Amino acid sequence: MGECCSFFQKPEEPVRKVTLVMVGLDNAGKTATAKGIQGECPEDVAPTVGFSKIDLRQGKFEVTIFDLGGGKRIRGIWKNYYAESYGVIFVVDSSDEKRMKETKETMTKLLEHPRISGKPILVLANKQDKEGALAEADVIECLSLEKLVNEHKCHCQIESCSAVMGYGKKIDKSITKGLYWLLHSIANDFDTLHERIKKDTTEQRALEQQEKLERAARVKKIREESFLFLYEGSHWRTKGERA
């Protein structure tokens, strides 16, 4: 990867901090991919509950990748990371044809989100080492990938790979190539993406603060109501006393 990203290493260029999200269905191989990129053995990894984070230095980029859990109950947290993301890595289990419809629906929902539409997306057709794995062209067809990325104006690259075949310098070259493409795509549109991310993160923080205040107000109201006076028999008492 260091060789691939040598074009980033111009002395006059500042270090750029970039955040990426890695998403996909559960068991697609996201964590194995993340570990392999980081230089750790990708075998025997446990399913991600919530998220994990890795930090990398690639040329003039300081890259943070959020590996987000892919279970149905966890996917709701993905949107919390969209505002700060410069690009997306979507990992697909190309050996699981039965879940391609679910994968397509999940990707569609992702690309429809206003804080993702227009950002570059790398699709990794993972688990090519498995018998019966779909070829790259078949994955594209199953996901209607060309139609999706055109509708949402996302630059896209798909790479067939196997995350468990190596790690570090021996990682599947298709993963290296894909990450190189994603960083290159971000570099070409960095200023526009950076301004968009500043705007989106400011709006998201304001929304989160507003939601926090509203929750606090609701809790305060509930507490106040719990001490309303009730008349019982010949005297007044609070609900709390009654309990």
Numbered residues of the known binding site for GTP? 24-31, 70, 126-129
Residue 71 CA to residue 47 CA, distance in Å, equals: 9
Distance of CA 57 to the CA centre of its chain: 19
DSSP H/E element including 108: helix 100-112
Token pair of 57 as six digits: 């230095």
Residues 6+ apart with CB under 8 A from 53: 64, 65, 66, 67
Closest listed residue to residue 67, CA positions, set 36, 86, 98, 89: 89
Return binding residues for Mg(2+): 31, 48
| Residue 55 contacts residue 64 (beta carbons within 8 Å) | yes
Element (H, E) at 125: strand 121-126
